Amino acid sequence: MADTTSAKQPLGLQIATAAFILVWLIIAAFPFIWTLWGSFKVELDFFSKEDWTNAITGVRTVQETGNAFTLNGYEGAWIQEDFWRSVINTFLICFFVVCTSLTIGTLGGYALSRTTFRYGFWLLVIALIFRAMPPITLVSGYLLPFFEWGLWGHLSTTIIVLVAINQPFTLWLLHSFFSKIPKDLDESAMVDGCTRWQAFRHVIIPVMWPGVITTGLFSFLLAYNDFAVTAMLLSKENQTMVPKIAGFLGTTQTEGNVMFAVAAVVSATVPLFILVMVFQRQIVSGLTAGAVKG
């Protein structure tokens, strides 16, 4: 279909479209490529007063290190500033957030998709309201109780908080996926004598994986990308990558070690890059799941 429409397009429009896409691709992708390249240079090249082409050729980098590429930024960030610790923390948090929020979200989303009562609707509306609230507005509510009860600073506390903040969106997404699984499927199992739980366990779980994987990706992204909650609820040694990068800015900008932050930013982007590459279709289907239905 696409071929026939493009064939019918007049030449001028075709050129305009292609040019527009090209410009958009440059705007979208070039900053990442540029920063990746620049992260292997020294600061005076990446932020060059004399000539911006220095960032490409690495004149200063050659002068300072003898090679056009240097790992100084990465070494400084990962070893000197203990960035590796934040990487481990981030992946611990993401792993447990995804597992927990999928487990409880699947149960809740399934229940919402199968109930015919009025409260199902209201629960979804409440979830929508929770989804609309900026997470940082909740943080001042957490701090005082967490300090009082000695819960502040731990990875486990943050995991539970992130799971809860994730739930509204997870519920909406899973609700819309489960609604697409025909009701007859589990109902006929129940007619055959299964309990609701058995029907869920043996009939629904085997067919729900595409929706669950997509939802899991979004839980992962939310946990991975969170700044407001993790920055406020984690102690220094438990910090995740994003607050750590923000910390670099405060301390190293003045010392002239911006390259640590550049290297850390590139390190934090690489997993996302791979994620999009592998799961592009699931991300697209997740984004559209809520929308196309209405």
Partner 1 sequence: MKHRSFFFFFLPTALAMVLFIFLPIVSVVMQSMYVQHEQVFVEVENCDIFGCKKERMIDTAATAKLRAEQPLGRFVGFENYFNRSHLATSEIGKIWATTESWSDFVGQLFNLPFYRALAFTLVFTFASTPFIILLGFLIALSVNALHERLKGLVIFFSLLPFVVTQLVGSLILFWMIDARGIVGNSLQFLANDPDLSLKASPTLTWVMLIVYGVWHAAPFAFVIFYAGLQTVPQDTMESAMIDGASRWQRTRFVTIPHITPLITFVALIQLMDNFRVFEPIVGFNASAHATSLSWIIYNDLDGEARLINSAATTSVLTIIGVAILLSPVLVRTWRDWTLKT
Q: Which of residues 169-208 bind partner 1 (CB under 8 A)?
A: 171, 196-197, 200
Q: What is the DSSP string of 131-191?
A: HHS-THHHHHHHHHHHHHTT-TB-HHHHHHHHHHHHHHHHHHHHHHHHHHS-HHHHHHHHH
Window 5-24: residues binding partner 1 (CB under 8 A): 5-6, 9, 13-14, 17, 20-21, 24
Fill in the DSSP letter of residue 192.
Answer: T
- The two tokens of residue 205 are 């779980």
Cβ closer to partner 1: 24 or 95? 24
Q: Does 234 bind partner 1 (CB under 8 A)?
A: no
Interface pick for partner 1 out of 62, 64, 92, 108 (rule CB under 8 A): 108
Q: Does 99 bind partner 1 (CB under 8 A)?
A: no
Region binding partner 1 by CB under 8 A among candidate stretches 69-77, 78-86, 202-210, 257-265: 257-265
Q: Does 71 bind partner 1 (CB under 8 A)?
A: no
Cβ closer to partner 1: 93 or 114? 114
Number of residues in contact with partner 1 under rule CB under 8 A: 106
Region binding partner 1 by CB under 8 A among candidate stretches 57-65, 77-85, 107-115, 201-209: 107-115
Interface pick for partner 1 out of 58, 76, 105, 216 (rule CB under 8 A): 105
Task: Indicate the SS3 state at residue 47.
Answer: coil
Count of Cβ atoms closer than 10 Å to residue 282 Cβ: 18
- The two tokens of residue 33 are 């490529």
Task: Give the whole-angstrom CA distance, residue 257 versus residue 14.
Answer: 47
Please report, for residues 67, 108, 136, the alpha-carbon distance to residue 229 in angstroms, rounded to integers and kept in the order given. Answer: 41, 24, 6
Q: Does 77 bind partner 1 (CB under 8 A)?
A: no
Window 142-161: residues binding partner 1 (CB under 8 A): 142-145, 147-148, 160-161
Interface pick for partner 1 out of 99, 139, 151, 181 (rule CB under 8 A): 139
Residue 74 and residue 142 in contact, taking contact as beta carbons nearer than 8 Å: no
Residue that is written with structure tokens 């486990």 in the block: 156
Residues 6+ apart with CB under 8 A from 34: 55
Nearest-CA neighbor of 77 among 263, 250, 237? 263
Window 262-291: residues binding partner 1 (CB under 8 A): 262, 265, 268-269, 272-273, 275-277, 280, 283-284, 287-288, 290-291
Interface pick for partner 1 out of 59, 77, 163, 203 (rule CB under 8 A): 163
Residues 6+ apart with CB under 8 A from 265: 35, 39, 245
Interface pick for partner 1 out of 110, 172, 177, 260 (rule CB under 8 A): 110
Cβ closer to partner 1: 28 or 206? 28
Interface pick for partner 1 out of 114, 176, 189, 215 (rule CB under 8 A): 114
